[in-house]
Amino acid sequence: MEELYKKSAVETVALLKAGEVSPLELVEVAEKRIEETDGAVNATPIRCFDRARAHAEKIMQGEVPSDGKYLFGLPIAIKDLTAVEGVRFTMGSPIYADQIAAHSDIMVKRLEDRGAIVVGKANTPEFGAGAQTFNEVLGTTTNPFDISKTPGGSSGGSGAALAAGQVWLAQGSDLGGSLRIPASFTGVVGLRPSPGRVAHGPAAMPFGLNSVEGPMGRTVADVALMLDMMVGEHPVDPISLPAPKYSYLEEIQKPQKFGKVAYSPDLGLNPIDAEVAEICAKAAEAFVNYAELVAEDCFDLTDGHDIFQIQRAAQFAAGHGPKLETDRDNLKSDVIWNIEAGLKLTAKEIGWAQRAQGALYHRVSTFFESYELLLTPTVMVPPFDHTIRSLSEVNGVKFDNYVAWLAQTYLLTITSCPAISVPCGMTKSGLPVGLQIMAPAHREDLVLRAAAMFEADHEYAGMVPVDPIG
C-alpha cells in the first residue's frame, strides 16, 4: 500500500479496475502522502478527505459508464482557481479567504462523474497572476526537487503535488503558460489544449480564447488518460468542442514517423539560459529518430509580446476591474498593475491586438503546411529561488513587467494551438528542464504522440515522485 503513490495514474487505474485496490484505500494513501510531504512543499493546503471518502464509497457502490471513460476512484487535485462544491475556494486572494464553493465547475463535475475523486485544492498565486506560486492566504509552494526553489505557476501547486507523489493526476489552467511552466520546473507533464477542448464554467467571460483548462500528470500517458476524461461539449461553455472519436491514450500507443519538425531555440525573440538551451537542443536532436527532418525554423512572432500583453491586460481589466474600487487594499501589486494597464487601453489598441492575433494565426497555419511540430524550450530558465516574486532579467535582458519572463509559453498561447511540456533533462544542480512541443490547432493527439515517443526513449518519466529535497 505504501508504494502505491509511486505508480503512474494509468497503472493505478488498472489496479482499481481489477479490484486489486479500492478507492477508499487510495484516498488513505493520498492523505498519508500529503501529510508526509506538504509541510515541505505546501502544494495542497486545502484538503477535503471526508468528502473524498464519501465519494469513494459512492463509486464503490455504483455502475461504470458504458462509454468506457472512467477512472474507477482515482484521487486527483483541483487548482484553487476552480470551484469544487462544498470545498474552500480562495483563488489565492484575501478577498475570498473564507469562501466555500456553492457548486462545482462543470469540468469538476465531469471528472467526478467519470470516477475521479477530489482530495484537495492545489495552491495558486492570487487569481493565477504570475508564474511563481505564492499568496497571502495559503503561503508559498516550493519545488520538491529543491524546496528552496519555485515550482513555477500558476498551477504550481498541481505540479508540486504530482512531483511529491501526493496525487496521481492534477488539473491546472493556462493563460501565459500556467500548465507548461510548472510541468517544466517540477519534472512532470503539462498539456495546454486548444481553446474549447476542455469545457469549463459557468464563467463570467465564457467567450475568452486564451485561457484554457487542462491536465497534468507524471507521464504522457497519464496526461492522455486525464484528457480523455475531460473532453466533450457542454452547453454551459459556448466554445466547447466535441470529443474526438478516438481515445488520446490509445492514440499515443500508435507511434508514427513525423515529417518535417521545426526547432526554435528562442522563438526568435527571447533570452535563454545557457544550460537550458543546451539541454533542449540535445532533446530536439533526438527527434531525428521520430521525423524525416529536424530544421531550425519558426513563424514570425515579432508582434507577439504586444499582442499578449494587450490581451492579458484587457482580460484582467474585464475580470477584476471592479475589485480596484471595492478591494484594492487586498490585491497584490502585480494584479493591480495588470488591471490598471488594461483600463488604460484604447479601443484602437485592443482592435489592433485582435487583428494582429488573427494575422499570426494565419502565419502559423501556413507554417504547419511545411512542418508537423514545433519544438522549443518551455521556460527561459531553470527553477529559481522561491523568494523571488518574478524574474527581472535573463542573460542581461531586463524585463519591465512581472510576466515578461514567461514569453516562451505565452507566445505560443496566442496561436491557439495545443502545446505540451515534457521533461527533457536535468541541470547540473539536479533541477528539471522541459521541452515544449506544439502542433496545429485541435491536434492534441500529435503533441501527445510526439511527447510519448520522446519519453519512451528517455528515463525522465521515472524521476518522479520524489521526497522533498532540502
Model confidence over 48-72: pLDDT tens digits?
999 999 999 999 998 888 788 999 9
> Helix (H, G, I), strand (E, B), or coil: what is residue 220?
helix
Bridge partners of 121, per DSSP, are: 46, 78
Does a structural domain hold residue 381? Answer: yes
Distance of CA 228 to the CA centre of its chain: 16
Nearest to 33, CA basis, from 56, 5, 1, 74: 5
Residue pair 176/413 in contact (Cβ under 8 Å)? The answer is yes
Taking only the tens place, the pLDDT of each residue in 352-402 is: 999 999 999 999 999 999 999 999 999 999 999 999 999 999 999 999 999
Tell me the catalytic residues.
79, 154, 178
Each residue of 263-310: pLDDT tens digit?
Answer: 999 999 999 999 999 999 999 999 999 999 999 999 999 999 999 999
Query: Is residue 238 reached through a cis peptide bond, with omega within 30 degrees of 0 on the bond before it?
Result: no
- Report helix, strand or coil for 281: helix
Q: How far apart are CA 202 and CA 102, in angstroms?
A: 13
Reported as half-sphere exposure (CB side, CA atoms, 13 A), residue 64 has a value of 11
Cis-peptide, bond into residue 144, ω within 30° of zero: no
How is residue 432 annotated by DSSP?
E
Map grid coordinates 475556494 to a residue: 89
With contact defined as beta carbons under 8 Å apart, do 186 and 152 qualify?
yes
The answer to whether position 356 is within a domain reads yes
* CATH number of the CATH domain containing 201: 3.90.1300.10
CB 357 within 8 A of CB 384: no
For residue 285, give its domain range. Answer: 4-303+350-463
Q: Residue 59: beta bridge partners? A: none
Tens digits of residue pLDDT in 302-336? 999 999 999 999 999 999 999 999 999 999 999 99
Q: How do residues 201-247 score in pLDDT, each as one tens digit?
A: 999 999 998 999 999 999 999 999 999 999 999 999 999 999 999 99
DSSP state of 232: B
The domain tally of the chain equals 1
Tell me, yes or no, whether 470 lies in a domain.
Answer: no
Task: Tell me whether residue 189 is in a domain.
Answer: yes
Asked if residue 153 is part of any domain, the answer here is: yes
In a domain, 308, yes or no: no
| 7, HSE (Cβ side, Cα atoms, 13 Å) | 18
Q: Judge contact between 217 and 189, C-beta under 8 A.
A: yes
Per the CB < 8 A criterion, the answer to whether 99 and 80 are in contact is no
Would 400 be classed as within a structural domain? yes
> Does residue 327 lie within any of the structural domains?
no
